[in-house]
Structure formats: structure tokens, C-alpha cells
């Protein structure tokens, strides 16, 4: 059962939306942000509400000024906003987000609002926030931005449970299933809605990326969650693994993916993998979208979310939005093209990052790629290095890249570091305050923009804060 206070927040947001004559939706550009925007736009379509959808890589004062200049009646922020309420003066807003609210960071961490609707530390504006942190839940694993938007949509009309699959795509895109191999917390309530409405089927199976579309040997070779000597990142080793099991890797001229394996082949592969690594490392819940075509990137939530990421990270968020809203022709074809380019970009970027080299400090490690990697994917690339043996898994990594307005800093950690006390969102908050930039995020993944001349100072600050966090746990 959904937490009553969260349900009440969603109903308050829905009530305000119904009163508006026009709404501007502003969302983030990653998979969670695009899923959030898709849910919001489809929900507003459903109730006949005129609206416009905008996307933002970050929500800073310049973007807030641009919004204010357009004099919107009501802005619905999805997957962003809670960390920026201090710059949203004179805007009437609804915020469905899962990032840590600005007044719950730093010295104000223990300060609670008088009620779930009255947040003392924001300027005088009509903010309605649907955010798990207000009820003591962790936004990095309890619910995604898309999940928060879904709660508002469901409050608009229970029939909009048909959008629950997009909330699951957003949660998986935010890797909220990674810790346990399954979704948890409020996400499970949304999952139940999706299953009951028939838009998601949950199975227990190999949950490595590419199970629908990658040749099975390539799925294993590039599995970022696994480290198997002689197989991981080894083309010949991965091919030999299947060939030694007698698995036919092709049907005619086509490579076979995991979904093309029969039951006996799957059992054989799983037993062989279990002899090399713990089954918990490759078995978990898989979220299938039954209304989509099997063997495509839309048929499984993890691949769907990666397709959306490909759009947002390459300045084509609108294409991802159209896919979320059901375009299976031109927009989907364009998205597939972006996805193909994204795969190559990630592979090339990992090589670039390794060639540049990782610099070690006492408590952190960092890599500055300049303009050699897009600022929109540099954090993703850095996170992929964990577990590869190519970086120190005992330290968070900060990846820096040139952006239009400064140096984009993307921090990534591991669940083990979080358990030890790491909170990257707190580091980014302090960076924003000190260097007058923009940033925020979660304890395990966060970002900020700092002036180029302040990079060394930022790294010293980050090193100091991480050292304090890990020593205080």
C-alpha cells in the first residue's frame, strides 16, 4: 500500500494541475527524466490539458530566469526541482522528484518541514513537492523521478495506471534495481500496479544487459556487473565459453540472443556461470513490456531505458519523449540510430578514459577528459569502470569534462561506499554553494558544474569531504 502521506501529496499536485489552463513540463534528459516527461505529458493529454514539454541538462539560475521570463501559469518539474527550490522564486511549481531537497542537505539535514506541504526554507512560492525524502525514504532506491510523476498521474485518474510501465523503465534506468537485483520500496507498489494492469510482466532470469538484442556471447563479454577472468572484455573467451557448452550461437546467418535460447540451453548456461560467479551477480528480476515486440529494445525495461538515454545524452530528448508517448515509426527509427551511435561512443570513451589515466588522491580518484568525451555521458562512462579492475573500487570517482558553461563534474560511487557513509549529493551541494554553480543528485551518483579555474579547489574539497564522510561512519 502506498504511503498515505505520499498519496496525499500526489492528490494535492493533481488538484492543482486540474485548476490550470496551461502547464509547462520541465524534465531532465536521462532515461528517468524522459520517462517522467512521458508520463506527465500523457497524463496531461488524458485530461485534455494544454501543455508544453521542455528539457534541461541542469536547473540553474539562468534556466530559472528563462522560465520566469515566459510568465508560465504553472510549471511541473519532473525528475528535477527539489534541489533547486532556492532559485525558483516567483514560479508556481509542482515538483515530482526523488533527489534530495535543498533544505535537507548539509546543516539542515535534520530539519523537517512543519507538514509535508509547508517547506520553510524555500522562498514564498506555491511549491507542491512529491518526493520520497519527505517521508524518510531514500530517493536513490525507493522511487525514481518517473515513479513520482506516476503517482501524480494516478491521482489525476486511476486509469492512468496504464503508464506504470514507464515508471518501471525510469526506475531501472536509474539503476534502482541494481542493489538487490530487484526493485524495492515504493517501486514495488508501482510494479504491482503495472502487473495488475498488464503493462509489465516480471520474471526471474538472467538480468544482464542485452538479453533481448545482443548476441548471447556479446551480452556476457560486455556484462558490466560481472568480472570473470578470461571472459569479461574478452571476445574469444566469451565465444569459447558457449562453444565448450555446445551452444549453437547462430540460427542461419543471425546471432542468437539470450531470449532465443531454449530452456535446456538456458539451464546449461546458468549452471556453468554459477560455477564461476555467485548466481546473485547475474540472476534477478527482469521487467518485460508484453505489449512491445519481443526481441526489440522496447520489450525489456533495461534496454528500453538505455534507448532513452541514447536520445537524451545526444541532444535528442524530444525523440525519446515521442517514443515514450507511443511513436513506433519515425521517432523509434531515429532512436535506434542514436542507440547505435551511443554504444560506440561508450566503448570509445572508456578507451579514452583509460588512456588519459585515473589520478589518485587520498580519498577520491578523478579523470579530466577535457573535450574528448561529451559532458552528458562522462559520468556513465566513469561508473562503468567500477568492478573492471581498472580503477580503485574503494574510492568514489569524479569524471570532469568541458561543458558550455564550465567544467561538468560527475561523481560516481558504489553501494559499499554508500554503506560506509559516502554521500556525493552533499559534496555537490557544497560545491554549488562555494563556486556558485549548479548541481545535485543522489548519494551514489551526483553532478555539478564548476568554473575551470576552480577545478583543483573542487577536487581538494571533494577529497576532504569524502575523507570525513568515510571516517565518520
**pLDDT tens digit sequence for 416-465:** 999 999 999 998 888 878 887 777 888 899 999 999 999 999 999 999 99
Tell me the average pLDDT across 89-110. 74
CB 53 within 8 A of CB 77: no
**215-252 pLDDT tens trace:** 999 999 998 778 898 998 899 999 999 999 999 999 99
Say if 368 falls within a structural domain: yes
- Let me know whether 46 and 170 are in one domain: yes
User: In the β-sheet with 75-78, what is the strand arrangement from edge to edge?
Assistant: 50-55, 22-27, 75-78, 93-96, 127-130
- Let me know whether 158 and 35 are in one domain: yes
Tell me the average pLDDT across 210-216. 96
pLDDT score at 2: 63
Considering the entire predicted model, what is its pTM? 0.87
CATH number for 367:
3.10.310.40
**9-48 pLDDT tens trace:** 899 999 999 999 999 999 999 999 999 999 999 999 999 9
Say if 141 falls within a structural domain: yes
pLDDT class for 113, splitting at 50, 70, 90?
very low
pLDDT score at 126: 55
Q: Among 126, 136, 133, 174, which residue's Cα sits nearest to residue 12?
A: 126
Give 391's contacts (C-beta < 8 A, 6+ positions apart).
358, 365, 385, 397
Least confident of 87-96, 166-175, 302-311: 87-96
Other C-beta atoms closer than 10 Å to the C-beta of 21 total: 8
- Let me know whether 189 and 80 are in one domain: yes
Element at 285 (helix H, strand E): strand 283-288
C-alpha 214/C-alpha 344 separation (Å) is 14
pLDDT score at 103: 60
pLDDT at 114 over 50: no
* Domain boundary pick from 248, 270, 288: 288
The range of the structural domain enclosing residue 13 comes to 4-175+183-198
- Let me know whether 392 and 468 are in one domain: yes
pLDDT at 121 over 70: no
How many domains, in total, are found in the chain?
A: 3
- Let me know whether 165 and 26 are in one domain: yes
Within 13 Å of residue 454, how many CA atoms lie on the same side as its CB? Answer: 18
pLDDT class for 1, splitting at 50, 70, 90?
low
Within 13 Å of residue 227, how many CA atoms lie on the same side as its CB? Answer: 7
Amino acid at each position: 500500500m502506498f504511503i498515505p502521506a505520499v498519496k496525499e501529496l500526489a492528490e494535492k499536485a493533481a488538484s492543482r494541475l486540474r485548476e490550470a489552463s496551461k502547464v509547462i513540463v520541465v524534465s531532465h534528459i536521462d532515461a528517468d527524466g524522459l520517462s517522467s516527461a512521458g508520463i506527465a505529458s500523457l497524463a496531461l493529454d488524458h485530461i485534455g490539458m494544454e501543455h508544453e514539454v521542455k528539457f534541461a541538462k541542469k536547473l540553474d539560475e539562468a534556466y530559472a530566469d528563462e522560465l520566469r521570463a515566459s510568465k508560465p501559469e504553472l510549471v511541473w518539474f519532473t525528475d528535477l526541482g527539489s534541489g533547486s527550490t532556492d532559485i525558483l522564486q516567483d514560479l508556481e511549481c509542482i515538483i515530482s522528484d526523488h533527489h534530495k531537497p535543498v533544505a535537507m542537505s548539509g546543516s539542515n539535514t535534520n530539519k523537517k518541514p512543519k507538514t509535508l506541504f509547508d517547506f520553510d526554507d524555500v522562498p514564498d512560492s506555491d511549491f507542491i513537492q512529491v518526493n520520497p525524502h519527505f517521508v524518510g525514504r531514500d530517493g536513490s532506491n525507493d522511487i525514481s523521478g518517473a515513479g513520482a510523476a506516476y503517482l501524480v498521474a494516478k491521482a489525476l485518474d486511476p486509469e492512468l495506471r496504464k503508464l506504470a510501465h514507464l515508471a518501471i523503465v525510469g526506475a531501472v534506468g536509474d539503476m534502482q534495481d541494481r542493489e538487490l537485483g530487484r526493485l524495492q520500496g515504493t517501486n514495488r507498489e508501482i510494479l504491482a500496479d503495472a502487473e495488475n494492469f498488464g503493462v509489465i510482466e516480471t520474471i526471474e532470469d538472467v538480468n544482464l544487459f542485452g538479453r533481448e538484442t545482443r548476441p548471447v556471447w556479446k551480452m556476457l563479454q560486455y556484462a558490466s556487473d560481472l568480472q570473470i577472468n578470461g571472459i569479461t572484455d574478452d571476445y574469444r573467451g566469451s565465444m569459447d565459453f558457449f562453444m565448450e557448452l555446445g551452444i549453437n550461437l547462430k540460427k542461419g546467418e543471425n546471432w542468437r540472443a539470450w531470449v532465443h535460447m531454449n530452456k535446456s540451453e538456458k539451464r546449461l548456461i546458468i549452471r556453468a556461470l554459477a560455477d564461476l560467479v555467485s548466481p546473485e551477480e547475474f540472476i534477478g528480476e527482469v521487467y518485460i513490456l508484453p505489449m512491445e515486440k519481443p526481441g526489440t529494445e522496447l520489450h525489456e525495461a533495461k534496454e528500453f531505458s538505455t534507448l532513452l538515454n541514447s536520445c537524451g545524452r545526444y541532444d535528442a530528448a524530444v525523440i525519446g519523449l515521442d517514443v515514450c508517448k507511443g511513436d513506433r515509426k519515425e521517432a523509434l527509427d531515429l532512436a535506434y540510430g542514436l542507440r547505435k551511435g551511443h554504444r560506440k561512443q561508450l566503448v570509445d570513451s572508456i578507451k579514452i578514459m583509460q588512456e588519459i589515466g585515473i589520478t589518485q588522491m587520498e580519498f577520491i580518484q578523478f579523470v579530466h577528459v577535457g573535450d574528448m568525451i561529451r559532458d552528458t555521458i562522462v559520468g556513465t562512462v566513469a561508473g562503468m569502470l567500477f568492478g573492471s579492475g581498472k580503477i580503485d573500487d574503494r574510492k568514489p570517482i569524479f569524471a570532469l569534462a568541458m561543458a558550455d558553461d564550465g567544467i561538468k563534474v560527475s561523481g560516481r560511487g558504489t553501494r559499499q561506499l554508500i554503506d560506509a557513509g559516502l554521500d556525493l549529493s552533499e559534496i555537490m551541494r557544497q560545491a554549488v554553494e562555494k563556486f556558485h554553480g549548479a548541481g545535485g543528485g543522489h548519494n551514489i551518483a551526483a553532478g555539478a558544474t564548476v568554473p575551470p579555474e576552480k577545478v583543483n579547489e573542487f577536487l581538494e574539497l571533494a577529497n576532504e569531504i569524502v575523507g570525513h564522510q568515510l571516517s565518520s561512519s
